Chain A
């Protein structure tokens, strides 16, 4: 570790939770407020040590609502901020997620998913918060969510989460899980100068008409910079004045959703393999994608025309790019650790053009054999 607290570039053996912390630091995170909840505690513990080492602040709060409120305050003070939690705590954060969305506050939430609902099973994985991530706040505007599938992903996608949060002034959710949290894998940490980071546009004193910015993202008038701004959870117009009428609110909702649509067009990440001539596609994301590649390779070795699609960007769900990634496949097998959340989005996007199938498990990973068997069954 360097004198300024940054990790020396090189290869490390880290857990998913540890990689998230190092990614956040690399991205410029200097404020962490959190509440311990299994299986995210590795993040909170490492952050408590690392934040002071890099000149940042660690603030342990009395509950998840306080964590989120503190993140909001710190972000509006100018800091890049993060918290980590699991399903239950994530539910407590929803009101503030809505607040962050309506007043366009950059922040990152790492949801280390576990079996739910409620306390469920503390240490086993479930991809149960996919829908909650996008639709859990009242008003259902949406946000950006990414799903890491490896510990290296935990590092890289945390940096990406911060960059997207800053660029589009939105909360970003990193959908991790309990397996990835404690899995140890090799992570390559690059030299800090080689990492591209984005910071929000900050409004200059005297700047007006924020919301008419050409790229759809208003410069942020930080608190304490003399703007005399009202940062509110209420609806507002293009001058930042509080407005409580239908017409104005509709314009606000349109502007926020347009911004997300643009973010989706500009930043969606999907990884594909063997899709050029695939008749069957296996689509997955996050931890459940771990079993897919080897199942597909096994099927390919036997001459079957199968390919895989791994979603890295989960929300906004980019129908056009997902369809395009699925190419000419006639069947889509969706693998996820829940009773079907992304599969419904895929179905909707395909509009009946292909057959969709769900392979799932709860609390444990779907092994490659099970996926391979399904491929054989579908491909006939």
Chain B
């Protein structure tokens, strides 16, 4: 077998130009959220966005490690408050591409009220919500998105609460673009992020992420790769889900584009 040769100067990765220097990646080995960071960079690269006009707004959680990785303007705000911060910024600087990048606890639980109203207002913000089914940054506690029966540090005998379907929530509140994907296949996620950025309304893209250090360990999943495989195996597309019974859908994750419509006139007015 041949050894891989390390060659720093010969072939830079095309995304290297978007990294803060020196590049240090504080995500755990195999973290799905880290994969999502690079999916976002790929989308920005493919859209050839003006780097000085992109602002990423993140909250508190593992996801905010993005702030030290990407060489963009980043606002790393209070827990749960990324969306209204993004709204204020967008209102005074409408020419900027404002991307909210949050976890599921940050964006969907403490930030839940803002999620509902951002969707209702359909403002031109692209919201990438990383769902790893736990509050990872604080050690792996139960979250509103933890699947029924899953073990966490605050549900050691198995979660007894129903998880939240955040896509259904934002769709019913009025978002003009709503989708859910896993991190693999990457291109599917990247294309959706691009669509979301191009949509001049509120675009919500939920990304299901492996948490190898906490969620996986607490639920008997050996590795990042194994959790990614299980997420994909548990997924069904929206089209297939429509033909399945409630029983058949138990334990399944529905992926797809749930809403893709013309951004409302409201999006312009606000």
Contact residues of A with B, CB < 8 Å? 30-31, 33, 57, 59, 61-63, 65-79, 81, 95-96, 99, 223-234, 242
Contact = CB atoms under 8 A, between A and B. Distances in A.
Given A31-B91, A31-B92, A242-B68, A69 B74 contact: no
Contacts of B78: 65, 69, 95-96, 99, 233
Given A66-B84, A69-B84, A73-B86, A224 B96 contact: yes
A242 to B, nearest CB: 6
Contact of A70 (B20, B53, B80, B85): B85
Contacts, number: 133
B87 A70 contact: yes
A70 B68 CA distance: 23
B89 interface: yes
Interface in B44-78: 51-53, 55, 57, 60, 67-68, 71-78
B89 A77 contact: yes
Nearest to B75: A231
B127 interface: no
A224 B76 contact: no
A229 B114 contact: no
Given A63-B113, A77-B88, A224 B74 contact: no
A interface, by DSSP: helix, strand, loop or mixed? mixed
Interface of B: 20, 51-53, 55, 57, 60, 67-68, 71-78, 80-93, 95-96, 113-114, 116-117, 270
Contacts of A67: 84
B263 to A, nearest CB: 18
B93 A230 contact: no
Nearest to B50: A226
A232 B68 CA distance: 11
A296 B24 CA distance: 67
7 contacts: A59-B87, A66-B113, A71-B88, A74-B88, A77-B88, A77-B89, A223-B89
B92 A57 contact: yes
A228 B71 contact: yes
Contacts of B86: 73
A231 B92 CA distance: 17
A3 B75 CA distance: 37
A65 B146 CA distance: 26
A223 B93 CA distance: 9
A266 to B, nearest CB: 29
Given A68-B81, A231-B76, A234-B76, 19 more contacts: A62-B114, A66-B83, A66-B113, A69-B84, A69-B87, A70-B85, A70-B87, A70-B88, A73-B85, A73-B89, A74-B88, A74-B91, A77-B92, A78-B92, A96-B81, A224-B53, A226-B51, A230-B67, A242-B67
B267 to A, nearest CB: 14
Nearest to B93: A77
B90 to A, nearest CB: 8
Nearest to A66: B84
Nearest to A81: B88
Contacts of A30: 92
A226 B52 CA distance: 4
Nearest to B89: A73
B89 A76 contact: yes
A95 B80 CA distance: 12
Contacts of A225: 52
Interface centre among A75, A226, A229, A233 (most CB of B within 10 A): A233
A224 B85 CA distance: 14
A228 B20 CA distance: 9
Contacts of A65: 78, 80-81, 84
A69 B117 CA distance: 14
Nearest to A231: B75
Contacts of B82: 69
B88 A230 contact: no
Contacts of B89: 73-74, 76-77, 223-224
A230 B80 CA distance: 18
Interface centre among A65, A71, A78, A96 (most CB of B within 10 A): A65
Contacts of B84: 33, 61, 65-67, 69-70, 73
Contacts of B71: 228
A59 B91 contact: yes
A227 B57 contact: no
A230 B77 contact: no
Contacts of A62: 113-114, 116-117
B9 to A, nearest CB: 24
Contacts of A232: 67, 74-77
B102 to A, nearest CB: 13
Contacts of A63: 113
Contact of B87 (A73, A81, A229): A73
A73 to B, nearest CB: 3
